[in-house]
Amino acid sequence: MSEPVLENKPCPLHPRAGDRHLFDAPDRLHGLPGTFSIVQCDECGLIRTNPRPDAESMGQFYPDDYGPYVATRVQAAAPGAKRSWKRRVRPLIRWLQKDEVLPPALPGRMLEVGCASGSFLALMQANGWQVEGIEFSPSAAKSARSAGFSVHTGSIEGAPAPSEPFDLIVAWMVLEHLHEPILALRKLADWAAPGAALVVSTPNAASLDFRVFRDLGFALQVPTHLYHYTPDSLTAVLEAGGWQVEKVYHQRSEMNLMVSLAYWARERGLPTLVSSWLQNYPEKAKLSRLVFQPLAQVLGLLGHSGRMTIWARRKN
Would you place residue 287 in the very low, low, confident or very high pLDDT band (cuts 50, 70, 90)? low
More confident: 166 or 315: 166
Q: In this predicted structure, what is the pLDDT of residue 216?
A: 94
Question: Mean per-residue pLDDT for 207-216?
Answer: 93
Would you place residue 237 in the very low, low, confident or very high pLDDT band (cuts 50, 70, 90)? very high
Q: In this predicted structure, what is the pLDDT of residue 275?
A: 52
Q: In this predicted structure, what is the pLDDT of residue 2?
A: 79
Cα separation, 170 vs 251, in Å, equals 16
Would you place residue 256 in the very low, low, confident or very high pLDDT band (cuts 50, 70, 90)? confident
Question: Mean per-residue pLDDT for 172-186?
Answer: 96
Cα separation, 250 vs 187, in Å, equals 26
Would you place residue 46 in the very low, low, confident or very high pLDDT band (cuts 50, 70, 90)? very high
Tens digit of pLDDT for each residue in 61-105? 887 666 565 556 676 444 444 444 344 434 444 444 444 579 999
Question: Mean per-residue pLDDT for 284-292?
Answer: 66
- Least Cα distance to 208 among 270, 136, 261, 155 occurs for 261
Length reported for the chain: 316
How would you list the strands of the sheet with 19-26, edge to edge? 19-26, 35-41, 47-49, 227-228
Question: Mean per-residue pLDDT for 30-48?
Answer: 95
CATH 3.40.50.150 fits 6-314, yes or no: yes
Q: In this predicted structure, what is the pLDDT of residue 313?
A: 97
Question: Mean per-residue pLDDT for 243-249?
Answer: 95
Q: In this predicted structure, what is the pLDDT of residue 245?
A: 97
Q: In this predicted structure, what is the pLDDT of residue 90?
A: 46
DSSP E strands in 27-178: the ranges are: 35-41, 47-49, 52-53, 109-113, 130-135, 150-153, 166-172
In the predicted model, what is the mean pLDDT of the chain? 86
CA distances from 120 to 47, 111, 113, 151, 228 (A): 29, 11, 11, 13, 24
More confident: 256 or 225: 225
Domain ranges in the chain are 6-314
Question: Mean per-residue pLDDT for 164-186?
Answer: 97
Report the range out of 2-11, 259-268, 289-298 with the highest average pLDDT.
2-11
Would you place residue 271 in the very low, low, confident or very high pLDDT band (cuts 50, 70, 90)? low
Backbone angles phi, psi at 224, to 5 degrees: -70, -25
Q: Which of these ranges, 21-30, 38-47, 80-89, has the smallest mean pLDDT?
A: 80-89
Q: What angle do CA 184, 168, 88 make, to 5 degrees?
A: 125
Q: In this predicted structure, what is the pLDDT of residue 273?
A: 56
